[in-house]
Amino acid sequence: MEPLPHIAVVDDHGEIRELLVRYLGQHGYKVSAAASAAEFRAMMARGEVPDLAVLDIMMPGEDGLSLCRHLRSVSKLPVIFLTAMAEDTERIVGLELGADDYLVKPFNPRELLARIRAVLRRTGSDPVKTEESGAKGGNVRFGDKLFDMTRHEVTGADGVAVPLSTAEYRLLCVFLEHAGKVLSRDALLDLTSGREAEAWDRSIDNQVSRLRRKIEQDPKNPVLIKTFWGDGYCFTGEVSPG
């Protein structure tokens, strides 16, 4: 499985850090949080280098502008600013320092997610899409099942191969790539089809039900794909190369 894209959130407000760790984590990212520029510098010094940094501009001690200036002197790490200031001057300064984008507080986490994806696409660090993973082929094991990614089928302990539809195949790939992480319906829809869920969109629930019927021993009491009410779904099976 490919490593998850790593996002660092640097903000002195604990509520914002907690919100983004949870929200971005549910949408398929590894997230590290730092309460200050000093904490983030220490994280980098330990070799924990993210794929993108979300920086608050107004922080006690070293502010986000200074931290961005430092990052630009030593790396090409993509940066998105969070700012409580709506004035054009501050945004212009941030962009002149090399920031890739900015968002004014208060912000909608979904908008930040969209901006993160856009920046990662531009910088070549976009999360691996399901179709690309499938194109690589190969086998993956989970429980007593063998998933043939080339043939799009799952074989159980009885040796019977069960073919998957394109939608089921994409969904299983996403679950295996993010095993152990709770993914929201919105995240699953985006990762499998590249679009966001609309109100009352139950297509993911239907796809999960169909996939459970093909990989669970008892679809009504699933042990591989667990439901986390209010949060989404999580693949809890042990995953290993086939």
| 130-241 maps to CATH 1.10.10.10 | yes
**Residue numbers in the chain where pLDDT is lower than 70:** 1-3, 85-91, 94, 124-137, 193-202
Task: Quote the pLDDT of residue 91.
Answer: 63
At residue 27, the 3 state secondary structure works out as coil
Q: Is 235 exposed, middle or buried (0-12, 13-18, 19+ CB in 10 A)?
A: buried
Task: Quote the pLDDT of residue 72.
Answer: 85
pTM above 0.85, yes or no: no
Task: Quote the pLDDT of residue 20.
Answer: 96
**Which residue do the tokens 């920086």 mark?**
55
| Residue pLDDT, tens place only, 119-138 | 888 776 554 343 333 334 68
Task: Quote the pLDDT of residue 100.
Answer: 85
Task: Quote the pLDDT of residue 194.
Answer: 53
What are the structural domain ranges in the chain?
6-123, 130-241
CA distance linking residue 90 with residue 77, whole number of Å: 20
Domain covering 6-123 in this structure, CATH number: 3.40.50.2300
Task: Quote the pLDDT of residue 137.
Answer: 60
Task: Quote the pLDDT of residue 41.
Answer: 95
CA distance linking residue 20 with residue 109, whole number of Å: 7
Helices 203-215 and 185-193, interaxial angle, to 10°? 80
At residue 105, the 3 state secondary structure works out as coil
Question: What count of residues does the chain have?
Answer: 242
Give the per-residue SS3 of 170-239: HHHHHHHHCCCCEECHHHHHHHHHCCCCCCCCCHHHHHHHHHHHHHCCCCCCCCCEEEECCCEEEECCCE
